[in-house]
Structure 1
Amino acid sequence: MSRRYREPGIEIESYTSITDDYAGAHDSWWGVAKMHVKAQDHDLPFLLANELICCRLAAAIGLPVLPGEIALHPNGRKCWVTPQVSHAGVTVPPTRGQEVVAAHAPTIAGALVFDCWVLNEDRHEENFLFHPSLGIWLIDHDDALAGSDGRRFNTFAKTTDMTLGWHGFQSTEPPLEALRFWAWRVKNAPMGAIDLALNEANARGLLPKANGATLRKLLRDRKERIDTLVDRFVAPLRSYVGTDDEPSLFQP
C-alpha cells in the first residue's frame, strides 16, 4: 500500500536535553543533524549572495527550498549551509530527470519559471534533491542573477530583458497551467520580499548596496515581464501546445 504522507527528510543524529528557560512549555531538545556546507570562493564574490537571495525568493513564491543560513567556517570564510536530506541514513542521490518530472511536473514548471526570473542557467538534474518518499527541493543557485563572479552586472546596465539561455528541463513539456500559475506567482511577488532578500544579503556583508540596487531593478523588471520571458524561452516547444503559430502561452 502506498504511503499517505511523505516521510521526514532531515534525520536528527543526537539530542541534548534543554535544562534552561529556552526549553519552553513543550518537549524540545537541542538536536544535531548533518549540514551541507558551501564556502565562499574569493574568485566568486557573489556566490553566497546568490544562494541566499534565490532561497528567500523561491520560498516567497511557494517553491520548495531547504532552509539556508550563513555560517562561519573555522578558516574564517563565510559559508552557505543547508540541512542534509537523507533517507534511511543515505544522502538523497542526484535526481533522475524523467522520474522527477513524472512525480513533480508542476514543481519542475515552477523551477523553469523561477529560473527565467532570476536568470539561473544552471538548472539540471543535480540541482534538485528528490526522493519518492520524501519530496523535492530546488538547490544550487550560486550562479544565478549576475553570476557568482558578477560577470553580468555590466550587461544589466544595458538591458534586463535577456532570455534565459539554457535549462535542463526545457524539453520536458511542462504543464501549461503550471507555467501560467507560477508566472502569476512571480508577477505578484511583492517588492517587499525582494527588498528583504537584498537587504539581508547586504547586511550580512555579501552584496554591496550598488550591486543590490542593480539586482532590485533586474528582479522588478523581469517579474513584470515574466509572461513574455517564459513564453520566449519555451517558444521552441510551441509544437507541443498543438499549434506552432499560437501567439502566446499566456493568452486566455
Structure 2
Amino acid sequence: MNDYVATAVGMAMGAPVPPGTLVKLGSDWGYLSLGFGEHGKRPPPAEFDELAVERPWEATGVLVLDQWIANFDRHDGNLAYMPTLGVAAFDHDQSLFGACPPGEGVESLGGSLHRRVSSHELAPHLKTSEHFEPWITRAKSITRPELQRAVWTCVDAELLSRLEAEALVDFLQYRQNNIGQFIEDSYSEFTGITAWTLDADGGE
C-alpha cells in the first residue's frame, strides 16, 4: 500500500518513479512496478554526487517527493541513475504508514505529520536550489480528489480502513502544503548550495 500510494503521488507530480500497480497474489495483494535497468539486470547503486550534478532537476524532484511522503529510507539501493536511461526512485515501503503495527496506522501518521526528513542522502550533493520552487508548485497543484482516488483504491482492496484512508489523505495534504517549510528547515544540510531563493511557501 505504501509503495502504491507513494508511486501514485510521485507520478502525479512528475517525479522519476517507475509506474506500478496493486496485483492480486492468491488471497493477498502485492505491488508490481516496471523494472529499471538494462537487459533485465538490476541497476548499479546510484552515485549521488554524479546524479546531483548531471541531473539536478530529477534529483530535486526525488528530494521533494521524499519530504512529501515522509520517506526516511532513501539510499543508493532504491535510487538508480544510469546516463543511458535516466533516474528512477523506487521502493517506498517505509514511507507514509511505514512499518507500523496493524491497527496503529492513524497513530503512526500522527507521529510523523510534522516530522521533517532530515539528513537526506541527496542534500549535500545538490549544487543549486533553482528547481525546488517548480517541483513544490507541481506537488501543490495535486488536488484532494486526486489524492483520494489513489488512497481509495487501497480501501477497495481492503488494505486500508476508511478511517485510515481519511487520515492518510489529510496527512498527504498537510505535508503537501508544508514542503517548502521542510526544505527551508533543512537549509544547513545543503552544504553545496550557496544561494537560496526559496521561501517557506515554495515561492521565490
Q: What range describes the TM-score normalised by the shorter chain of this pair?
A: 0.7 to 0.9
> How far apart are the structure 1 equivalents of 2:54 and 2:192?
23
Structure 2 SS opposite 1:91: coil
Structure-2 residue corresponding to 1:162: 115
90-99 vs 223-232, which moves further: 90-99
> How far apart are the structure 2 equivalents of 1:126 and 1:158?
26
- CA 1:185–1:176: 2 relative to 1, 3 Å: same
100-109 vs 112-121, which moves further: 100-109
Aligned-pair distance for 1:165?
3.2
Where in structure 2 are there 5+ consecutive unaligned residues?
Answer: none
1:96 aligned residue (29, 47, 63): 47
**Which digits, 9 at most, give the CA deviation of each residue in 1:25-68, with x for residues without a partner?**
xxxxxxxxxxxxxxxxxxxxxxxx11010111100011122121
Structure-1 residue corresponding to 2:106: 153
- Give the letter aligned to residue 99 of structure 1: E
- CA 1:108–1:217: 2 relative to 1, 3 Å: same
Structure 2 SS opposite 1:126: coil
Structure-2 residue corresponding to 1:119: 70
Structure-2 residue corresponding to 1:221: 174
Structure-2 residue corresponding to 1:141: 92
- CA 1:50–1:89: 2 relative to 1, 3 Å: closer
- CA 1:251–1:133: 2 relative to 1, 3 Å: closer
91-100 vs 196-205, which moves further: 91-100
Q: Is the 8 A contact 1:146 1:152 kept in 2?
A: yes
Alignment of 1:54 onto 2:9: no
- RMSD across aligned C-alpha pairs, in angstroms? 2.6
Q: Is the 8 A contact 2:63 2:120 kept in 1?
A: yes
Structure-2 residue corresponding to 1:46: none
Aligned-pair distance for 1:88?
3.8
Structure 2 SS opposite 1:145: coil
**Which digits, 9 at most, give the CA deviation of each residue in 1:57-91, with x for residues without a partner?**
100011122121222335x4422112223324533
User: Following superposition of structure 1 onto structure 2, how do residues 1-252 of structure 1 map, counting pairs within 5 Å?
Assistant: 49-73=1-25, 76-149=27-100, 153-154=106-107, 156-157=109-110, 160-237=113-190, 240-242=193-195, 248=199, 250=202, 252=204
- CA 1:214–1:60: 2 relative to 1, 3 Å: same
**Which digits, 9 at most, give the CA deviation of each residue in 1:71-121, with x for residues without a partner?**
2335x4422112223324533222222222232111111111111111001
TM-score relative to the length of structure 2 = 0.85
Aligned-pair distance for 1:126?
1.5
**Which digits, 9 at most, give the CA deviation of each residue in 1:203-241, with x for residues without a partner?**
122221111111111111111122112211234437833
Answer with 1 or 2: which has the greater Rg. 1
Where in structure 1 are there 5+ consecutive unaligned residues?
Answer: 1-48
> How far apart are the structure 1 equivalents of 2:16 and 2:76?
16
- CA 1:158–1:149: 2 relative to 1, 3 Å: closer
- CA 1:67–1:159: 2 relative to 1, 3 Å: closer
Structure 2 SS opposite 1:137: strand
Q: Is the 8 A contact 2:127 2:192 kept in 1?
A: no
Aligned-pair distance for 1:247?
9.1
Higher relative contact order (CA closer than 8 Å, sequence separation 6+): 2
How many residues are matched? 201
